[in-house]
A and B are shown apart, each in its own frame.
Chain A
Amino acid sequence: MTDPILEGSRPRNDATRHAARTVLTDGRFPSGGHAHSAGFEAAATLGDLDHPDELDRFLDGRLATTGATDAWLVGAITARIANNTIDWKETDTEVQARIMSPALRTVSRTLGRQWLRAGRRIWPDPLLNEVGLPNSGNPHQVAAFAAVASVAGLSPTDAIAVHLHHLVSAVTTAAVRLHGLDPFTAQRHHLDALERWHHLTKVGAAAGMTPWRDLPAPSGPMTDIAAERHARMNGRLFQS
């Protein structure tokens, strides 16, 4: 089934896999995420997110929409990579169709390039040369991330868990930096959110080889509207 050359170049034992998962989970992983708030700054300037309950509600909103959509996408992409049936052009089209805001499409491709650059330096693997091809080196973030996670040896479930962790982390870190939220409290919100939405890792991984058109893509219009306004906002501190 799997290509022996690709298979051979990827870590396949528990030690390397565990090490890779730890490194990819670390907020210090250099993929440029630190300059993004996953919509928190946008929402905080349009509405009022000062209250801790609001932070939980915001996290629930992000996870129920972008989080769930990304979980299915990462699940579908990692399954196709493992199955050796990945078509990067098709993947690019499917991901793009699930991001409505032009500003967020740009952000996604910027982060995609950054993930790919980091991934290629750390886990040189022929697969990472192909991800960006359909869009001249500008893959979407989920595609690049799923590819990097795959060559690093992560399972689809782990890849989704790491991706959701970074989504939540971007929000809670922004709350600490913008609102002075107590960092211990931030960790509690982070933990609780990942627990509440843990099922997404299983649901996403179950996407497997489900045809693209059958994968749900929940979204909320306010996220896209806020992102567009944020992209035009003067004096913002985060890129998104």
Chain B
Amino acid sequence: MGAGHDHHDHHDHPAPVSPEGRPLRIGIGGPVGSGKTSLVAALCKTLSDELSLGVITNDIFTSEDAEALRSQGVLPTERIVAVETGCCPHTAIRDDISANLDAVEQLEARLGDVDVTLVESGGDNLTAIFSRGLVDRQIFVIDTAGGDDIPRKGGPGVATADLLIINKIDLAPHVGADVERMQRDAAERRTGPVEATSVTAPGGVAQIAAWIRVAVHEWHNSVPS
């Protein structure tokens, strides 16, 4: 890319330009332990051959999730950056996005070729959504083991995320969770898609990866206003 490319026919084919000319940024939020890091790991494995990815983790303790991802070898280590959030994960993704925005912009500038930046929030509560100033799309991850009444309780995460994931359906029988009821309750709270899956199972993120491919395509082909 860049200096070497000889694409001069932009009169016929407008070059794909994303709004603001930057990568698509996707936030991944949800309660503690619902499977956010596992989802990021699985997405990196699934998508890294076709898309250039960057990952920002928000950790309660120093850089735990970033280390977990690095040690799994799902992406080159320089593509994973940890942001520390001073006891307040939701503040860092919503009210004061400065540290995250700084990390995102630094990472994207350093790598230069990123198509999608994934920002994992620290585990938080049902009201923690990402600011539109930080991400362009958001995925909210809940799980069957966290209680099957969570979709009914609702809250901004469940109601407004662009994609809601009900994770760990493999555990549902063991914890007495009714996945179909969770899906029904979720559908009542929101209009967007709901995906029930186990992100750690083989092929468990296929649908989510497909959703991301579409989002990336739309983003990089949309005409700036």
Contact = CB atoms under 8 A, between A and B. Distances in A.
Interface in B85-114: 85-88, 91-92, 95-99, 101-102
Interface stretch (A15-23, A28-36, A43-51, A54-62): A28-36
> Chain A: interface secondary structure?
loop
Interface stretch (A112-120, A159-167, A197-205): A112-120
B162 interface: no
B113 to A, nearest CB: 20
A238 B95 CA distance: 17
B81 to A, nearest CB: 12
A32 B95 CA distance: 10
Nearest to B101: A117
Q: How large is the interface on B (under 10, 10 to 19, 20 to 34, 35 or more residues)?
A: 10 to 19
6 contacts: A29-B96, A31-B98, A35-B92, A37-B86, A117-B98, A236-B84
Nearest to A178: B87
A191 to B, nearest CB: 22
Given A35-B92, A110-B102, A236-B62, A30 B85 contact: no
Contacts of B60: 237
A13 interface: no
B20 to A, nearest CB: 13
Contacts of B83: 35
Contacts of A4: none
B84 A30 contact: no
A112 B92 CA distance: 17
Of the four ranges (under 10, 10 to 19, 20 to 34, 35 or more), the interface on chain A belongs to: 20 to 34
A237 B87 contact: yes
Nearest to B61: A235
Contacts of A174: 86
B95 A28 contact: yes
Interface of A: 28-37, 110, 113-114, 117-118, 174, 177-178, 233-239
Interface string B39-57: 0000000000000000000
B97 A238 contact: no
Contacts of A233: 62
Given A117-B102, A235-B62, A237-B61, A35 B84 contact: yes
Nearest to B98: A32
Interface of B: 60-62, 83-88, 91-92, 95-99, 101-102
A42 to B, nearest CB: 13
Contacts of B99: 32, 35, 110, 114, 239
B74 to A, nearest CB: 23
A111 B218 CA distance: 34
Nearest to B60: A237
A35 B85 contact: yes
Given A34-B88, A235-B62, A236-B84, 20 more contacts: A28-B96, A30-B97, A31-B98, A33-B96, A34-B86, A34-B92, A34-B95, A34-B96, A110-B102, A113-B102, A114-B98, A114-B99, A177-B87, A234-B61, A234-B62, A236-B61, A237-B61, A237-B86, A238-B84, A239-B99
Listed from nearest, the 4 A-B pairs whose CB atoms lie closest are A35-B86, A32-B98, A114-B98, A30-B96
B57 to A, nearest CB: 14
Contacts of A114: 98-99, 101-102
A150 to B, nearest CB: 20
Contacts of A118: 98
B202 to A, nearest CB: 34
Contact of A238 (B86, B96, B102): B86
B131 to A, nearest CB: 9
B95 A36 contact: no
Contacts of A239: 84, 86, 99
Contacts of A29: 96
A62 B87 CA distance: 22
A186 B61 CA distance: 24
Nearest to B100: A32
Nearest to B87: A177
A223 B97 CA distance: 27
A227 to B, nearest CB: 14
A207 to B, nearest CB: 28
